Structure 1
Amino acid sequence: MPPQIIASGHDKSLRSATNLRIYESMEVIDSTLVSDVGPNNEIVRFSLMVSEAVGTVSIELQQPSNIFSPIGNVDFEFWENDGGVLDDGVAIYSAVVSQDYRGLGLALEAYKLICSRFKLISDDSQTHDGAAFWKYKLSLDDDIEVSIVLNPDGDPAYYFKPDGKTMYYSGDNELFEPYIWGKEYYTDEHPEFIKTDNIESRVDVRLVAVRINEN
């Protein structure tokens, strides 16, 4: 029922890239180091890892002696390829960053790493934080393009084209938000930061982010 605004969060845990490789048989397909993170100018490693059906970006802080400790994970699953517009897509189902490292752009960096390899598809339900992230971070980033896909589980899924051309969503334009988000229950208040329809869900909509600029 995507994307539906919900109040509750996901179960989340931190896992290291080393353990993911050893115990969950994941393969690292891309990685990057970001320096000068936070007030202490720390170094953070982002490892994009996949197995047959799922993947993750492990976010790790570099410690002395080149040891890395996990401070975040962005978990996703592969979309079933059916020859449609969502082929080569992945859907995020959990994202967490340690409290001490929030607000530093680490989640956005992880999402952009995913977008460099796959189409990033919005979760089937979103917390307020998750919806705000798509609105204020992903859709407003110069390297990311966010489109609206209708009938995502159908045959065929197709891009939202109200004027005959693909409509891209930007958080500074609220016009199409009621077409994207619904509420969890009819009685819920509308979130102050985003426009939602009165329906309880949007079973026919997903947001899709792709990276359009590469450094």
Structure 2
Amino acid sequence: MGVSLLNSNKHIHNSQMRKILLSLGLVLCLLIAVLLVRTLSFSGASSELPEMVSVDVDEERVVQNMSRAIQIQTVSTGDPETQETAPFAEYVAWTRETYPEVHEQLGLELIAEHSMLFTWAGSNTDLKPILLTAHYDVVPIAPGSEGDWSYPPFSGTVTGGYVWGRGALDDKSGVIAMLEAVTLLIEQGFTPERTIYLSFGHDEEVGGNLGAKGITEHLRSQGVQL
């Protein structure tokens, strides 16, 4: 009797397993069929590339502006007792002098005193805006490492086809690239279809709790949806 019951349970278990495997097999076949249909019906993206546009850029001006940006020592320490704020105010003032078209056309809001938020109004308010972001603060130089640099970290030395210094890659180059591009577009009479925000944080290297967070909260309070 015990053997018969055991065999019966084993038969039921095997039957259930077959049903489960059959169901899984049917689901797998269905997924494969869907993938095949979608693959065969996919027409593919257009192979036509947009026409290349030739842009005249004053390379010497861009290089010198990048060099000057590096020379302003916007170092984030994360320590209120050692944090210098004067270089950040100097940097903001320098952008006003160097990129007057951007400040006049876009307008500037300062968030947490030193983070910059530019708004370039678009012609179609039905389109959601976009936000382009970078930061202009840099990390400190490790004490005693000054001699390890090929060129002084805040010299902005231009040589060998490069601009050398702290922030050249992370991330003053991003800020300068955007400001130069917007200046060029303004000079050409360009107006964006959708609104564009330029967000330049001043404390990204220490978490962005004032700059990025403040800009986010400000845009949210204005009902902006990106």
Q: Return the TM-score normalized by structure 1.
A: 0.23
Structure that is richer in strand per residue? 1
Could you say which structure has the greater relative contact order, defined with CA pairs below 8 angstroms and 6 or more residues apart? 2
Q: Return the TM-score normalized by structure 2.
A: 0.22
Structure that is richer in helix per residue? 2
